[in-house]
Structure 1
Amino acid sequence: MKVLVIGSGGREHTLVWKLNQSPQVDKIFTAPGNAGTAQLSENVDIEDNDVEELVEFATEEEVDLTFVGPEAPLVAGIVDRFREEGLKVFGPNKEAAKLEGSKVFSKNLMAKYDIPTAKYDAFIEVDNAITYIKEVGAPIVVKAEGLAAGKGVIIAETEEEAIEAVETIMLDKKFGQAGERVVIEEYLDGEEATVLAFTDGETIVPMLSSQDHKQAYDNDEGPNTGGMGAYAPAPVVTDKVLQKAYDEILVPTIEALQQEGIKYKGILYAGLMIEDNEPKVLEYNVRFGDPEAQPVLSLLETDLVEIAEAVIAEDLASVEVEWSDKTAVCVIMASGGYPIDYETGKEITGIKETEADGTTVFQAGTEVKNDKLVTAGGRVLGVTALGDDYQETINKAYQGIEKIEFEDAEYRTDIGQKALNHK
């Protein structure tokens, strides 16, 4: 069969890598892809938000199955357009994708159906938001209402920082239209983790838990990024916590959407804050996380095509989804200065040497220029290792990083440390 993967990041390279392992797949296209996907698939020069061009391409090439990687085309309704043309596509439709596309929609849904989350309010007027901040105090969390590439959340330690965040989002338009409204939430204590699940709108199959590292620098300091690394499974998500997340969050979310007349099919991502074994929802996403996809998919043993086709056919209950009992760690190598100001075009060396030792390097912001692999974005590589325990896996990932070089490369040195703390 022919498969199309839409997107250009590390998540998409991971999807292509995993799909390449399926005996059902004969040919993979990636639109637009990167230098890593080009080694395993045919890159197509169509941007991931060019819905009509993508529909036309999939029709002409008689693509059998399409995976949508990023959130923006899902929120824009790409799944609806593919379905209109009779094309098989994996991901939620436009109505369901509002769960990520609108924080107000998702928070209102959680409030209406008693799904555990932080207290909140939403504002379209700057003055009203500032008044609310002064009433409730800090620490407090300020979020741009729409899509902001994972960077639209500001944790403010003081009222002054919170007010500055509101002004940055709503007046300075740092995140464009995504900041026309803000959601202001109570600050939750605890440890963050992610639980992803496959769902066909009825059956829900949780994946292995994972833990992302959003802040740019060690010890969770510095500005928010798209994610500087992740590992799976996350020890903070004990069997008890996972069962609670399933019973109190995943199932009620799908049922709540059904009550609202929305059938949700695809990946449901629940970003959780966990304190005293009690999970609360920080955010929903409607696709694989990036970089969570790298360690989670590295541990998936069931054919991803089989799962996707069962989801689309609303027959997920018939598939037994199996996982490796190993641990996986992904460390992101980023361009110097990311996420604020960085240069691209730096030559990358050492990937072959790292992969020769059994560590996988998923490419994100890369391209080939003058026959050389160079940086082409903020997050450049996801160095991903598997091992029998967390310490072994962490060591392998960082040993891999030592072999890779590009000018001004930056990475956190503490990815996976929280897993060791639990031990």
Structure 2
Amino acid sequence: MKFLFVTRYSLLTALANQILKEGHEVKYAVLSRSEKEVGDGFVEKVENWEEHKTWADAIIFDDSDFGDICERLRKEGLKVVGGTRYSDKLEFDREFGSEEMRAAGLNTIPSWEFQDFDSAIHFVRTTPGRYVVKPSGKAQNDKVLSYVGQEEDGKDVITILERYRKGWGKKIRRFQMQKFVSGVEVAVGAFYNGSKFLLPALINFEHKKMMNNDIGPSTGEMGTTGFWASDTRLFNETLGKLESRINGYVGYFDINCIVNSRGIYPLEFTPRFGYPTLNLQLEGILSKWGELMYALAAGQDFQLRTKKGLQLAVVVAVPPFPFTDYDTFKKFSEDAPVVFKKPLTEGVYPCEVKLVEGEWLLTGTSGYSVVVSGSGSTMDDARKEAYSRVKNIQIPNMFYRTDIGERWHRDSDLLQTWGLLT
């Protein structure tokens, strides 16, 4: 079959490469100018994806905010993996997302939407408490701007809001403040073919901070762990209640939650591929990816085959990650080689990388270099495989967390105790 990939920030290279290895034809379009070299040498690159849309048996978009385009292409009779206007709004408009959660019968955490910092600061001063600050719109893609309050009187949140007002007032137009709820953070995701979810679902745990023990700036994710399950309370009380509401959406759909002994509290939607969640899926899915992507785009049923046990993915990055600074990347990381001590690339996925004369070289601007995965019947086994693969890699100035998966034993015990995995 023929697959056309359209990506803004070029993080679909590993999936496109996998489908190419399965014997399909692949064309790959990168929209961001700073990422134009990403994927070179791995797959065939094209400049204008619209010129190739009728060539493709399926067109795959990797991100939210392509909803308008995806709906237009579907009206033209083309098969598309990607969002809708509705799914885009679920992610970018946090207040709308919360309203849709309540309409679907999900538990929600009290939250408040603000369009200026003075109003939010006044709110915290008059209603002291522990809050989480989350930008809305496209600013939420910059994960370093999210802040989880640490003090019960909210004084640290006031300080952060004052800094945001001074430094990022033009960047953050709208933001949500959510009451802090303690518990285990866990996400539930599954592939949706336009009318139904294809089970099993992926129960996954994100590690968002840059350094071990969840210290440092938020990065999106530095690593993820997960397992596949078909029938759990976590799915039935979250995605299961949304199945009839997201008709028309095609692709991976994820909902992040806080859970505790009192229940499941959804936090936010991710109606798109996640990173490094996609690499975790590449490790854990046994089905052919080309067949899966085509079935999704065509609205077909599909028997998804996955590994038993647990999977783990570790992000290996270089400066300036998690920030974007072209000068720093150019000085410290541009064209640096990814060296394999032994010629083994299994479980190692290129991200902001190009292939030149058989050598992996870093490109792009962010330093999000490679993701390394592992699997096993226990989390200790999955950690051992993933980190042995990490140790086979050498990149100048590379860094990664060494504790991905360590909190699994505590988190899984709590989820079992609360009856959420059955």
Shorter-normalised TM range: 0.7 to 0.9
Partner letter of residue 161 of structure 1?
D
CA deviation string 1:89-140 (max 9, x = no partner) = 1122122221112112101212333312221011113222122222333321
SS in 2 for 1:322: coil
Of the three residues 371, 377, 398, the one matched with 1:409 is: 398
**Counterpart of 1:50?**
none
CA deviation string 1:54-90 (max 9, x = no partner) = 323324xx1111111122434xx22123224432211
**Counterpart of 1:153?**
146
Of the three residues 142, 152, 165, the one matched with 2:133 is: 142
**Counterpart of 1:378?**
367
Unaligned runs of 5+ in 2: 414-422
SS in 2 for 1:410: coil
Of the three residues 250, 253, 270, the one matched with 1:268 is: 253
Structure 1's 127 and 338: CA in aligned 2 closer, same or farther, altered over 3 A?
A: same
Q: What TM-score does the superposition give when structure 2 sets the normalisation length?
A: 0.83
SS in 2 for 1:229: strand
Of the three residues 322, 327, 349, the one matched with 2:305 is: 322
8 Å contact 1:170–1:182 — kept in the other structure?
no
**Counterpart of 1:19?**
19
Structure 1's 415 and 34: CA in aligned 2 closer, same or farther, altered over 3 A?
A: farther
**Counterpart of 2:420?**
none
d(CA) in 2 for partners of 1:328 and 1:354? 23
d(CA) in 2 for partners of 1:366 and 1:73? 24
Structure-to-structure mapping, 1:64-213, within 5 angstroms = 64-74=57-67, 77-147=68-138, 148-149=140-141, 151=143, 152-158=145-151, 159-169=154-164, 172-173=167-168, 176=171, 179-206=172-199, 207-213=201-207
Partner letter of residue 41 of structure 1?
V
**Counterpart of 1:41?**
43
**Counterpart of 1:227?**
221
Unaligned runs of 5+ in 1: 46-52
Structure-to-structure mapping, 1:312-391, within 5 angstroms = 312-316=297-301, 319-340=302-323, 343-345=328-330, 346=333, 347-349=335-337, 351-353=339-341, 356=344, 359-367=346-354, 373-376=361-364, 377-391=366-380
SS in 2 for 1:296: helix
Structure 1's 145 and 405: CA in aligned 2 closer, same or farther, altered over 3 A?
A: same
d(CA) in 2 for partners of 1:19 and 1:267? 17
Partner letter of residue 374 of structure 1?
L
SS in 1 for 2:203: coil
CA deviation string 1:231-266 (max 9, x = no partner) = 2228xxx88xx6223222113223345xxxx64333
Number of residue pairs matched? 396
8 Å contact 1:210–1:232 — kept in the other structure?
yes
| Percent of aligned pairs with the same amino acid | 22
Structure 1's 118 and 44: CA in aligned 2 closer, same or farther, altered over 3 A?
A: same
d(CA) in 2 for partners of 1:224 and 1:217? 9
Partner letter of residue 52 of structure 2?
F
Q: What TM-score does the superposition give when structure 1 sets the normalisation length?
A: 0.83
d(CA) in 1 for partners of 2:343 and 2:122? 54
d(CA) in 2 for partners of 1:393 and 1:175? 44
**Counterpart of 2:27?**
29
Structure with greater proportional strand content? 2
CA deviation string 1:121-173 (max 9, x = no partner) = 11113222122222333321011111232504211223233224434555533
d(CA) in 1 for partners of 2:342 and 2:9? 20
CA deviation string 1:241-300 (max 9, x = no partner) = x6223222113223345xxxx643332111122223832211101112101111123211
Task: Give the CA deviation at 1:397.
Answer: 1.9
8 Å contact 2:93–2:136 — kept in the other structure?
yes
SS in 2 for 1:408: coil
Aligned-pair RMSD on alpha carbons? Answer: 2.9
SS in 2 for 1:396: helix
